[in-house]
Chains A and B, each alone.
Chain A
């Protein structure tokens, strides 16, 4: 980390250009952004959108993924659609959502969900296909019922797949959400970055990027890692 800062500082001094400000300059802008409340506000707005679209995509995706993984007929029917949605460019869905539903919050969230959902479905479907049939049989003959089977037999086996979908999903959503904001919202990280781009304000772009990286690290450290640890405690 220190070496990285040193190289950055060296390069910035050597180039002496607007395109690469020194770490000190970036830190200054960062601090200003925090004090004025601009940076936390826009970061917060983007985070709210992230939470909303991520929650919807994960819940829907897990439900659909489990159903498709356990039902061959439905799976065969929806398989082609899934491949199509997996491969539609994000930009297309975003533009169409804005055109059809207007430049509103729900259209923005919907665009992100549509981009993320097929990914979750595919991951969870693959997970459901690998479920241990022996354990499912055991649950049937001990009359577990649907809810108990889902909670105690299926869900723990899907955990690695859910965590995989969560990690890749967060990364994907971050990327898409900024484009969504850039194209059709008047707040959030994407909107701000677009503004700084037009002003050629590289220091602010870097400051926002750092804030964003810090948030990702915090999510990984405070949410995902503990979840992993808790779920894996039974392993040798």
Chain B
């Protein structure tokens, strides 16, 4: 695994008056779980699309190690974007080029082995989210992009999928960029929090989450860190 440097000097949509992203620098350490927190509409999805190579109309560079290239991506979108005419298993196998042995293990961890031959329309929201997470891990990406993947789930389901995600990530560590506007969710997941401002998007502050992984399931620990964070960093209040 290699570190990744993202340096976007300017991204302006043709119809927009001012840039969406200006002078944004991020450096992602290998196997680090990073949460990007910012107000909605601040361009987080744009940023992920640039990293994914879906949007090439920008001024800047992305470095994987020493090379100018787009990293290999696993992308968990806001909606799962599964092919409805393929079963769960086929949806995962389709993104793989090589052997598919990895699929069984992934299905097992995400508790989907039973449903592997079901079509996506028959799955619950939480299940289809889990499938799209498996698909993203299956390609063994250099960066895993996650764009508010739990936003439309009810709280208990979101919590369950979040815990499964962490379990999977601990078994198979990858560099993760997880976008959210929910500070509690961000604290529960991240090694490092990056707070972003509204357009033009810039880094407001970066904070390492000191809570150990074993304590993350405690709502109390997360809540007290959240309070402390808001107190010590008043600048982030307006971003939430």
Contact = CB atoms under 8 A, between A and B. Distances in A.
Nearest to B119: A234
Nearest to B51: A141
A235 B81 contact: no
Contact of B52 (A141, A153, A235): A141
Contact of B53 (A138, A141, A156, A231): A141
B83 A135 contact: yes
B121 A234 contact: yes
Given A142-B95, A234-B84, A134 B77 contact: yes
B75 A142 contact: yes
B139 A156 contact: no
A70 to B, nearest CB: 16
Given A138-B75, A141-B75, A235 B83 contact: no
A231 B119 CA distance: 13
A137 B81 CA distance: 9
A134 B78 CA distance: 10
Nearest to A236: B121
Contacts, number: 43
A156 B73 contact: no
A52 B95 CA distance: 37
Contacts of A28: none
Interface residues of A, number: 16
Contact of B94 (A134, A148, A236): A148
A135 B85 contact: no
Interface in A53-81: none
Given A134-B77, A148-B94, A141 B54 contact: yes
A175 interface: no
B103 to A, nearest CB: 15
Nearest to A156: B85
Nearest to B75: A141
Nearest to A140: B54
A144 B94 CA distance: 8
Contacts of A234: 84-86, 119-121
A137 B54 contact: yes
B83 A153 contact: yes
Interface of B: 52-54, 73, 75, 77, 79, 81, 83-86, 94-95, 119-122, 135, 139
28 contacts: A134-B77, A135-B83, A137-B81, A138-B75, A140-B53, A141-B53, A141-B54, A141-B73, A141-B75, A142-B73, A142-B75, A142-B94, A142-B95, A142-B135, A142-B139, A144-B94, A144-B95, A148-B94, A153-B83, A231-B85, A234-B84, A234-B85, A234-B86, A234-B119, A234-B120, A234-B121, A235-B121, A236-B121
